[in-house]
Amino acid sequence: MKVSYPKLHSARPKGNQNVERLPVVTSLDLHPDTVVLGAIGQLDEVFIIGYDHEGDLYCASNRADGADLLWLLEQAKKQLLKAASDLEQGLVS
């Protein structure tokens, strides 16, 4: 599975019109709107998981099949665990 990062230079949430977005991976947190806007036009399938402004879990997907969503979640989990392991081992900077 290929890990893809949002194209941040194309995503400009309100209030940031004078900020240039660079297409880089960062260890800093990003505004959720930046990530969502950067994904527009880049995905064939999507499963959004987050917390809304009241702190409640928010989930949305273009797929209706729960088994497909679970598979997607497990693939994402696998990639996250591998990335963390690679970082700990110094395989990536």
Q: Do residues 31 and 13 lie in contact, with contact meaning Cβ atoms separated by under 8 Å?
A: yes
Note the pLDDT of residue 86: 86
The answer to whether residue 36 sits within a structural domain is yes
Question: What was the pLDDT predicted at 5?
Answer: 44
Domain count, the chain: 1
Q: Are the beta carbons of 12 and 18 closer than 8 angstroms?
A: no
Burial class (CB in 10 A: 0-12, 13-18, 19+), 3: exposed
Answer yes or no: is 12 within a domain: yes
The answer to whether position 59 is within a domain reads: no
Q: What is the pLDDT of residue 11?
A: 47
Residues shown for the chain: 93
Q: Which domain holds residue 33?
A: 1-43
Q: Is residue 73 part of a domain?
A: no
At residue 1, the pLDDT reads 41
In a domain, 17, yes or no: yes
Q: Is residue 92 part of a domain?
A: no
Strand spans (E) along 29-70? 47-51, 57-61
**Residue 5 falls within a domain, yes or no?**
yes
pLDDT under 50 in the chain at which residues? Answer: 1-12
